[in-house]
Amino acid sequence: MDWSAWKQLLEGAWTTLWISGVSIAIGVLTGLLIAMLRRARIPVVDQLLALYVSLARATPLVTLVLFLFLSLPTIGIQLDRNTAAILALTLNTAAFNAEIWRSALDNFSRAQHEAALSVGMPDWVFFRRIMLPQLITVSLPALVNEMSSLIKASPAIAVIGLVDLTRVTNRIAAVTYDALPPILGAGLIYMVIIAGLVKAQAVAERHARRLAM
């Protein structure tokens, strides 16, 4: 496989990376917000969020991508390809992240909050300095696993014409009539991306532990 093919693969990888990266960043924060709102047990809000989580987790990603890009224009909402892809990936991963955060919140010791209140610590300080670092430490392995799953599922965005890593792989194979080199190249790139996530997880865990001390 020549440099031209590698260049195409790297360009496709960049599309996969930036769209997945934006979706992951928004999805992690949105998932935390959803988990905290559900923990507040506001009846109507909790029921609506529970319905969203169930539907988003049950809907195939490719179906969600097609719905946002092809169906919304029928009711006057037009999304470009990048926006539709990011929104679909975000809605999908936020639902899974919400359950990860909810599990961590359910297992968080309430006694720590009571102790913080007894010494006059404001809630926002308690959340930032004590609660959040512990939640991150507990949730990080599952969150990173979900990030990896989203990146590996991101080829679904190719159905609306985005040229991601998998689509580029298919193009090269169609031109060269030799599928093995581009498939191996794409596999190597995916492995590097996932390995980078695992390394970032280790760094983030160490940082979270220091903040929680």
For 132, what's the count of Cα atoms within 13 Å in the CB-facing half-sphere?
A: 14
DSSP string, 17-35: HHHHHHHHHHHHHHHHHHH
Distance CA 106, CA 120 (A): 24
Q: In the prediction, which pLDDT does 47 show? A: 94
pLDDT of residue 41: 85
Per-run averaged pLDDT (10 residues), the chain, 213 residues: 88 95 96 93 92 95 94 91 96 97 88 78 82 87 93 93 91 90 93 91 77 60
Residue found under tokens 């693969």: 9
Full set of structural domains in the chain with CATH:
3-212 (1.10.3720.10)
201: CB partners within 8 A, 6+ apart:
140, 141, 144
Whole-angstrom Cα distance, residue 119 to residue 59? 46
Q: Which residues contact 151 (CB under 8 A, 6 or more apart)?
A: 16, 20, 190, 193, 194, 197
Residue 17 pLDDT: 95
Residue 168: predicted pLDDT: 93
* pLDDT tens track for 39-62: 888 889 999 999 999 999 999 999
